[in-house]
Amino acid sequence: MAEKPARPEQTYYIVRFPRDEHLAGVSISVMRTLEFSEWNVEKSDLAELVKLPEAELTKRRGESAGAEKAAFEQMQALAQTWQDNAVRTMLLDRALEYARTPEVTHTSNEWKRYGEVWEISNKVYKMRYTIREQKTGAKKGQWLVTWGIAINKPRRPSSEKHYYYGDAMVVDEKKKYYNAEADAQNYIQGRFNVYAHLSRELSPPIPYQYRRLFHINGILLPGYTVEPPERTTQEVATELLDLLDDADLTPTTPEKKPEPQTRQEPSPKAKDKGGKRAKTAPER
């Protein structure tokens, strides 16, 4: 039978809420709060101190508080030493979390059945569907198709706080009813044909908007690549403008069209005596 711990000796002060705690790479805590207790005052030298003049008491109090402050500063220096080492421990813990992250489970781009659920998946995408005959209700006798495509995201480390990197659904869950099972199967085949390109590689490039799902502590997991972000219309326009020379950007002056020539009437002197116009040479 284990011995009971010895009770602390009663004295003239009480230590309230003592808490010494050390979490490697996370925190240290050393706390002491003292309170005076008159019940055991005879164990102190208070009876002798009260006989001293106030000036002497004030002097001794200053000396004692100074020694206390020096001890506190030593503790602060030790706390900085702890911090310098704890930062390294923290990084090593994050590296271990990265190394211990298990690879996602997948079907290697092959259809596999798990109970009523069919799945085809790889290291990035996961498509699932079910086809169930409705046994009761208004839809009795019909076939319900449920399907969706999600990101096959890795497990997050337990130390991660406030984790949310966006929705992991590429195609939200869809539901549709059919009167015949064959029609339901044809529908699923058509949906798979639309998204078959997602199942061509074991580790296809990760869409840029889902990249954070595959980072552990800010580092991309091995075996993955990320697609570049889609460029905005402004970025494309800026790139095209950068390819142009200054001469291409100089506005050109449109050619001035010649003004149409008007036919000049002959002067009265050019008329013959009979009042008729005189003949002129044709224009070349």
Quote the pTM value: 0.70
Torsion of CA 67, 73, 77, 78, to 10 degrees: 60
Give the whole-angstrom CA distance, residue 210 versus residue 264: 80
Residue 201 has pLDDT above 80, yes or no: yes
Give the whole-angstrom CA distance, residue 129 versus residue 109: 15
DSSP 127: E
- Report phi then psi at 74, rounded to 5: -65, -40
Closest CA to 123 of 197, 201, 192, 196: 201
State the DSSP H helix or E strand holding residue 69, giving kind and residue range, or none if neither. Answer: helix 54-99
* 239/132: higher pLDDT: 132
Q: How do residues 99-126 score in pLDDT, each as one tens digit?
A: 999 999 999 999 999 999 999 999 999 9
Residue 208 has pLDDT above 80, yes or no: yes
Give the whole-angstrom CA distance, residue 212 versus residue 163: 10
Give strand ranges (E) for 24-142: 27-36, 112-114, 117-121, 125-133
Q: What are the residues whose beta carbons fall under 8 Å from the beta carbon of 76, sequence distance 6 or more? A: none
99, 178 Cβ separation under 8 angstroms = no
Q: How do residues 39-53 score in pLDDT, each as one tens digit?
A: 888 889 999 999 999
Residue with tokens 């590429």: 170
**Cα maximum dimension of the chain:** 158
Handedness of CA 87, 88, 93, 96 (dihedral sign): positive
Q: Which two tokens stand for residue 245?
A: 């020379």
Given this model, what pLDDT does residue 104 score? 96
Three-state DSSP state, 9? coil
For the chain, give every domain's residue range. Answer: 13-99, 112-158+165-220
Torsion of CA 214, 216, 217, 222, to 10 degrees: -90
Q: Would you place residue 165 in the very low, low, confident or very high pLDDT band (cuts 50, 70, 90)? A: low
Residue 257 has pLDDT above 90, yes or no: no
Q: Would you place residue 37 in the very low, low, confident or very high pLDDT band (cuts 50, 70, 90)? A: confident
